[in-house]
Amino acid sequence: MSAPRRPGGSLFDRPATPVGTWLKIASGEPVEIMAYAGFDFVVIDLEHAPLDLQTAYRLINSAAALGMTPLVRVPDKTPSTIQKILDAGALGILVPHVDTVEEAAAVGRACRFPPRGVRGAGGTSRAGAWGLRPNAEYLASGDDVLCVPQLESAEAIGAAPEILALDTVDAVFVGAADLSLSMGSTPSSPEVLELIGSAIQAAHAAGKRCGLAFGGVPERAAQAARDGCDFVLLSNDTSMLAEAARGLVSAFRAAAG
């Protein structure tokens, strides 16, 4: 009997809401710090940070070795990009600006091996343990990686029930900042919050999960988790460094008079 499917490894097996952060610095130290700080997962950000594939490759390995689930936000929807990231060992991808069920279906197919998808076999990669992993096990692992479209427009939220009905999609992530920008609004406006709530409801109706990011405001994230959000992202490595640095300098200036 085969093992049950576990998308993203053990990320959603935890009793508490998984909490992660974005990685934007091209260095190994931040990923180690996030592991020691207790984060459950990291998202290596290839969309909004100057990180290349080789850097992502190293960070994926470090995160996994330190017990965190390594996810990657890819910069585009192309199957070649998705395949390289998954063969590098990522346990899931976030895909920006997926607005339609057709786009979500294409992304889902890029994550899965035939007959469910179009991902090419690369068993001599890290995902295949350099060819040492049994081929059947390597191919089965294609069903275990998390495929997470990002919903960042009203059109995407409207298509959420159809997107979540796809068996190649495991969860959605609502990008509240870009969603509000597309609406000429703010992330905390009633109309944006209503759309976020509808995405969470659509995910739960499909038996799947919905995630959100909250910057450096853990109280808001905790309230969202109580309200049904299934995984949360807090801040990022660059912002944590910037805020700590400014706080130290400001405290010194104030104390020194």
Annotated catalytic residues are: 48
Phi-psi group of 151: left, alpha or beta (phi > 0 → left; psi -120 to 50 → alpha; rest → beta): beta
Tokens of 207: 């038996």
Classify residue 189 by its DSSP letter. Answer: S
d(CA 7, CA 64): 15
Alpha helices (H) in 112-217, listed in sequence order: 135-140, 154-158, 160-165, 176-183, 190-205
Task: Give the dihedral of Cα atoms 197, 203, 208, 214; nearest 10 deg.
Answer: -30
Classify residue 215 by its DSSP letter. Answer: T
* CA-wise closest residue to 156 among 210, 204, 110, 112: 210
Q: Which residues contact 247 (CB under 8 A, 6 or more apart)?
A: none
